[in-house]
Amino acid sequence: MKILIRVVISAVALWVAQALLDGIEVTAGSTGKRALTLLAVAVIFGVVNAVLKPVIQVLGCAFYILTLGLFALVVNAALLMLTSWLAEEMNLPFHVDWFWPAFWGAIIIGVVSWLLNLFVAENRLED
């Protein structure tokens, strides 16, 4: 149950990012297909973050320290672009145009996910 809630939160955050930015788009036809696409992309984004982000943090530790953590914004944008590429390889209608939409999209996704996670208490996720 906990994983499903996190996937839905990520999907909502992706939806907000694509609604606010021009360079991030979901081109599925109906509302149901768009929702399923966002859920699938949220799963891909979660797997990419779970697998690659810790490795990048260890290898790029000096950059994180040197930039006082701002390097994390670049890493998050790159991971969102990688997610876009993987989604396109899986024939999902999700696309991020280039670096700046990915950069701002990663910030929006992070903020929206954080806000939504505030409303989900940890004890409710223990089901």
Predicted TM-score of the model (pTM): 0.84
- Quick check: 9 pLDDT over 60? yes
Tell me: the pLDDT tens digits for 73-109? 999 999 999 999 999 999 999 999 999 999 999 999 9
C-alpha to C-alpha distance for 18 and 94, rounded to whole angstroms:
9
- Domain spans in the chain, listed from the N-terminal domain onward: 2-126
Tell me: the pLDDT tens digits for 44-66? 999 998 998 889 888 888 888 88
pLDDT band at 120 (very low <50, low <70, confident <90, very high): confident
pLDDT band at 125 (very low <50, low <70, confident <90, very high): low
| Interior/surface letters 18-49, b for 16+ CB within 10 angstroms, e for the rest | beebebbebebeeeeebbebbbbbbbbbbebb
Q: Which two tokens stand for residue 124?
A: 């409710």
Report the chain's terminal Cα–Cα distance, integer Å.
6
